[in-house]
Amino acid sequence: MFAKNMIIYRVNRDVDFNADKLEQQLEEFKLTPCGSQDKQKFGWVSALPKGEMFTHLSGGHILLRSCKQEKLLPAACINKLVKEKVDYMEAQEGRPLRKAEKDDIRDDIVMDKLPTAFIKETFTNVFIFPTDGLIVVDTSTHKKAEDTLALLRKSMGSLPCIPLIPQIAVETTLTEWVKTGDVPSGYEIGNAADMKSILDDGGTVKLKNNELTSDAVHQHIEENKMVIALELSWQDRISFVLKENMQLSRVNFGDVITDQNEDIPREDVHARMDADFALAAGEMLALIKSLIDVLGGLPLLIKSHPNSP
């Protein structure tokens, strides 16, 4: 329930995130398991594992969960079977097969193997903060985040939102923090960073287990390298890596947070997950608001037309 990654979006016009209405909308696009000839399926599942509702509401925040099922057909295995069949057919007919014929053989083999293929499931949590007009997708890639938002947009009919990007470029602020060592109150710089030259042929540098206030790091900055990812901690509560695109990766909630619900028996799965969600959502929202503030605020939104997608 505690996010490992945070890709953040802001809603750019008023949207009614009514939980009851949303429940009905998600129902129409729930996950239907892969059939024998399906390669993959994508849809909504219960917000809490083993729960019954597609939405989970706590403290005004909403949790959703998508699931993607994919049939696992290793390319190396398929290629081997295709080659064996092609070699056999070419030997039988005494001629090389055309590309279209090889493609047909590949398609036949894939369809033959689909019913017995293993199924991989990938779950993605979506945290919605209606009052603040924010959405957080817990995934490490923008492709997966956009796929989940596309499903939510399809479910709701429309969802006008954009990535949350501060008014001042993130890399400009991060570089200044590392250069001066002067970070906002409540924040501490870790010992890992990625740096990239502003010059086309300047290259990149990945720093791990480094003292980022050292002369060597400052030399990189003098050589026109910008900090594009920086390990940070916030109030000794959450540590993370902040990237230039405002994505947070390697998010880790400290013991001061995760221990708060230890008095709830883990055997009471629903109560524990409900409490963890409420706690995680509150901390995530507080962190996002703090980041917006220390990174220079957000640009003004240009409100989209009510009928815009």
**Per-residue pLDDT reduced to its tens digit, 253-271:** 999 998 998 888 877 888 8
pLDDT band at 78 (very low <50, low <70, confident <90, very high): very high
pLDDT in tens, 14-56: 888 998 999 999 999 999 999 999 999 999 999 998 888 999 9
78-82, 83-87, 147-151, 214-218: least confident range: 214-218
**For residue 309, what pLDDT is reported?**
37
Between 286 and 258, residue with greater pLDDT = 286
pLDDT for residue 171 is more than 70: yes
CA distances from 257 to 7, 234, 240, 277, 279 (A): 21, 12, 15, 12, 8
- What mean pLDDT is reported for the chain? 92
Helix, strand, or coil here: 160?
Answer: coil
> What was the pLDDT predicted at 9?
97
Share of the chain above pLDDT 90, in %: 82
Helix 170-180 with 215-222: angle, nearest 10 deg: 140
pTM of the predicted model, to two decimals? 0.88
Q: What angle do CA 1, 243, 167 make, to 5 degrees?
A: 105
pLDDT value for 303: 54
Asked if residues 28 and 34 have their Cβ atoms less than 8 Å apart, the reply is: no
Give the per-residue pLDDT at 61. 96
Q: How confident is the model at residue 139 (pLDDT cuts 50, 70, 90)?
A: very high
Average pLDDT over residues 78-105: 95
